[in-house]
Amino acid sequence: MSLRQDKADYIIKRLEELYPQTPIPLDHKDPYTLLIAVLLSAQCTDERVNKITPLLFKKADSPNKMIKLTPIEIEAIIKPCGLSPKKSKAIYELSHILIDKFQGLVPASFEELESLPGVGHKTASVVMAQSFNVPAFPVDTHIHRLAQRWGLTNGKNVEQTEADLKKIFPKEKWNKLHLQIIFYGREFCSARGCDGLQCEICSAFNILRKSPVLTKK
Catalytic member of 122, 167, 173, 216: 122
Q: Is 89 a catalytic residue?
A: no
Dihedral angle over CA of 198, 204, 206, 211, nearest 10: 40
Sign of CA dihedral 96, 101, 104, 110: negative
Catalytic member of 61, 87, 140, 164: 140
Q: Is 122 a catalytic residue?
A: yes
- CB contact set of 205 (below 8 Å; sequence gap of 6+): 1, 7, 149, 150, 151
Query: Quick one: 150 exposed, middle or buried, by C-beta within 10 A (0-12, 13-18, 19+)?
Result: buried
Active site residues: 122, 140
